[in-house]
Structure 1
């Protein structure tokens, strides 16, 4: 009986140790990956993208959401969505394109 409790306790301690090691390794990987990706200036990019829009506030809000998710805004004031596939793939609940 004492042996089974000792075995269970050592197994639990080993699993906890492995979990902590995995979590530390995962956070190091995430930090390294995050430093490789350059964040773009979403506000500036969306101002440029929406400058000719008839509803600039709505355009900037939608563009900002898309930019934060994709870290990309297509060049120009319209079109060019093939330059940023993630941006072009986002849709509303109604199935329309979300990003201007």
Structure 2
């Protein structure tokens, strides 16, 4: 593999943050993932991965403004870093190399 250790869920979270751009916060990320992938995502699992990706330098975050709707709590918005984009690009290239190397008979029953 490459020099980056990126798990499947980490990759999906990074991609989802990139898709959402300026609207990437916890619940929005979960909604997007569940709608696109038709799979359930727990807030705890997401928060753990978001912290891990931020620690690795793949994501950055900042707080938005406090709102009355959230009882004065602020949302934490995530964005993908240049390093995170590089990791995603290299991961995609690795996967495509593997897909392109498959012989036709691999899919026949």
Q: TM-score, normalised by structure 2?
A: 0.22
Larger radius of gyration: 1
Q: TM-score, normalised by structure 1?
A: 0.24
Report which of the two has the higher share of strand: 2
Higher relative contact order (CA 8 A, sep 6+): 2
